[in-house]
Amino acid sequence: MSFITGVGLTSYGKHEGSSSLDLMSKAAELAIADAGLKRSEIDGILCGYSTVSPHIMLATVFAEHFGIQPSYAHAVQVGGATGLAMTMLAHHLVDAGVAKHVLVVGGENRLTGQSRDASIQALAQVGHPDYEVTLGPTIPAYYGLVASRYMHEYGVTQEDLAEFAVLMRAHALTHPGAQFHEPITVADVMASKPVAMPLKLLDCCPVSDGGAAFVVSREPTGATGIRVRGCAQTHTHQHVTAAPRLSELGAEIAIAKAKAASGVAISDVRYAAVYDSFTITLAMLLEDLGLAGRGEAAARVRAGHFGRDGAMPLNTHGGLLSYGHCGVGGAMAHLVETHLQMTERAGPRQVRDASIALLHGDGGVLSSHVSMFLERVR
């Protein structure tokens, strides 16, 4: 067993003068305090990668910077799925008795510490060096290809995709730490600058500075325990040219394994936190995970199903699309928000019931998937 005992999150957007290590430290300090622990009690550390600070020993570099000497340190790299992959690893570490309190941390000054061209070049390296990178595509271009095929197969429209951007922006309006606080409409999304058709600017997550962290412990440290009920991973491919058919992508496999490991059904879930790097990512994952039928997720958004007061509240902080995306820490904000919801500390964003939550992370171009169920125990 393992419990998420504390969480910490910075605002996302511009943090002029703050390095990746600074942002990670700020989030880590908040998470350890939230868990009611001291730095000296942290005996394990997991951190993600940083494109701004690509050190080959980032976990121990951070440990030194933060002033801890853990008995276990590890850096993890599976793209956008890294945050949940680290949570899964921490879960296994504490369950196996390797560590008692594992600090999971990620963050980058990706907006102010790296030029736009450098950021684009770094992210483009997910492509195959011979068959893809040489042709010049970017991450949005890969997802644009996926979106075109998905729209063709399931009758999804650009206006349907825009609904997800509008929902995430509406949720971000109530979070003071979100990068964006201006409401948008479907018409605004449709009128925004083309990036990689059919994806437009407001279909894409921003580049951000920020940090997120949480502590995974063997036992609860507070009155309410947030337990990792079950989790699973699937890795079907790395490159788009090697990807399986849309009906055989890894999210469906990961969620099936996570349901089997946890004994939780989708009908049991009361809150969802799903990766949303692009509107097409969120649309596809919601349907792959069984939260909507094929081609039906947008209709559920319009009906209020995924709103704060809906049947399945989703990414109530605003997600990657509107809270912001600072690399590994971007998706980790989903788990921080989930923890706040499950411990009834989300303030004006609080949903009626978050007793069982589903989280899903996606790395690469729908390449690596991690599904996880959390359960509140008192």
What pLDDT, on a 0 to 100 scale, did the predictor assign at position 37?
98
Residues 6+ apart with CB under 8 A from 161: 147, 189, 198, 199, 203, 279, 280, 283, 298
Domains of the chain, CATH where assigned: 3-114+208-217 (3.40.47.10)
What is the Cα–Cα distance from 306 to 119, expressed in whole angstroms?
Answer: 32
Report residue 131 as tokens: 């068959």
pLDDT at position 120 is: 78
β-bridge pairing 194-196 and 101-109? unpaired
Per-residue model confidence (pLDDT) at position 115 = 86
> In angstroms, rounded to a whole number, what is the distance separating the alpha carbons of residues 368 and 205?
19
State whether residue 328 is helix, strand or coil: helix
> Model's pTM, two decimal places?
0.97
Q: Does an H or E element contain 113, and which?
A: none
Distance CA 58, CA 65 (A): 10
Digits of tens for pLDDT over the chain (378 positions)?
Answer: 899 999 999 999 999 999 999 999 999 999 999 999 999 999 999 999 999 998 999 999 999 999 999 999 999 999 999 999 999 999 999 999 999 999 999 999 999 998 878 887 888 788 999 999 999 898 999 999 999 999 999 999 999 999 999 999 999 999 999 999 999 999 999 999 999 999 999 999 999 999 999 999 999 999 999 999 999 999 999 999 999 998 889 999 999 999 999 999 999 999 999 999 999 999 999 999 999 999 999 999 999 999 999 999 999 999 999 999 999 999 999 999 999 999 999 999 999 999 999 999 999 999 999 999 999 998
DSSP code at position 348: G
Distance (Å, whole) CA 278 – CA 321: 7
